[in-house]
Amino acid sequence: MSRSKDLVSVIITTKDEEDVIGRLIQSVKRQTYKYKEVIVVDNSSEDKTTEIAREMGAKVYSFGSERSRQRNYGAKVSKGKYLLVLDADMELSSKVIEDCVRKVVKEKAIGVVVPEESKWVNFWGQVKAFERSFYNEKGDPITDAARFFSKKAFNWVGGYDESITGPEDWDLPDRLRERGFKITRSFEKIFHHEQDISLTFIFKKKFYYGLDAHKYLKKHGIPILGPKTVYFLRPIFYRSWPKLLKHPILSFSLITMLFVELIGGSLGYIVGRIRK
């Protein structure tokens, strides 16, 4: 039987998420793993996000201003032995937490990557789902980012780097691996409900994330031109060439989207370096 120290703290960061927060919390409540708490760290929402979260039994805190700071605050107030860090537009398959706990115990790991499957509502969302499918079939060490952690290890490396927004999802697992900790992979899924996205939205998002990219790259000695930053250099696409040929329209659109992301991220990187 699980003990209280085996509690899993599910940390959700929010900002005006009334349309999606209920779905995520409900999926957490449906988990086969019994011992869990839901912590919502909200950044001054002006809608009913916090009201919905409280009504569904979540512990709600107000803290900003960026995602990394919110996540660290959630970890600080949590009571669990383990942390599962989520975005509000996600949804969990029913055995995610159970499988993650089993993985860290059985494999002596301190982190778990949970594959993400996109749920799309428009064409560019479908293209994003197509891209993500390459990474998730067998895993991809270049793009995988753990979301489930031992709280002890999380605290030992200082949690998320609050000076980084965007690459922080890679930075924390990278720091854990660099210190010799093991990160494993789940067979369960996180469903990521994509917005009604456009190429303009994608460009702006990558530009914003690119502003802090130089900090992440320098921190880990990652070259500016490499598969981590230049999407067309990622081996996973070339190893899966039959899939690209099988879906020509999606593949051409994927190339277009990756080019837009590359331009947006590159401009963000340049602006970030100039500001520095």
Q: Which residue has the tokens 């032995």?
A: 81
To 10 degrees, what angle do helices 248-275 and 123-136 make? 90
In tens, the pLDDT along 165-204 reads 889 999 999 999 999 999 999 999 999 998 899 999 999 9
The radius of gyration of the chain's CA atoms, rounded to the nearest angstrom, is 18
pLDDT by residue for the chain (276 residues), tens digit each? 344 469 999 999 999 999 999 999 999 999 999 999 999 999 999 999 999 999 999 999 999 888 999 999 999 999 999 999 999 999 999 999 999 999 999 999 999 999 999 999 999 999 999 999 999 877 888 899 999 999 999 999 999 999 998 899 999 999 999 999 999 999 999 999 988 999 999 999 999 999 999 999 999 999 999 999 999 999 999 999 999 999 999 999 999 999 999 999 999 999 999 997
The closest of 4, 76, 90, 89 to 41, measured between CA atoms, is: 76
Cα distance between residue 127 and residue 59, in whole Å: 36
Query: CB–CB of 13/70 below 8 Å?
Result: yes
- 155 by DSSP, 3-state: which? helix
- 17 by DSSP, 3-state: which? coil
Query: CB–CB of 46/16 below 8 Å?
Result: yes
**CATH class for domain 4-196?**
alpha beta
Q: Which residues contact 42 (CB under 8 A, 6 or more apart)?
A: 13, 14, 15, 49, 50, 53, 60, 61, 62, 63
Residues 198-227 as b/e (b if ≥16 CB within 10 A, e otherwise) read ebeebbebbbebbbbbbbbbeeeebeeeeb
Query: CB–CB of 139/173 below 8 Å?
Result: no
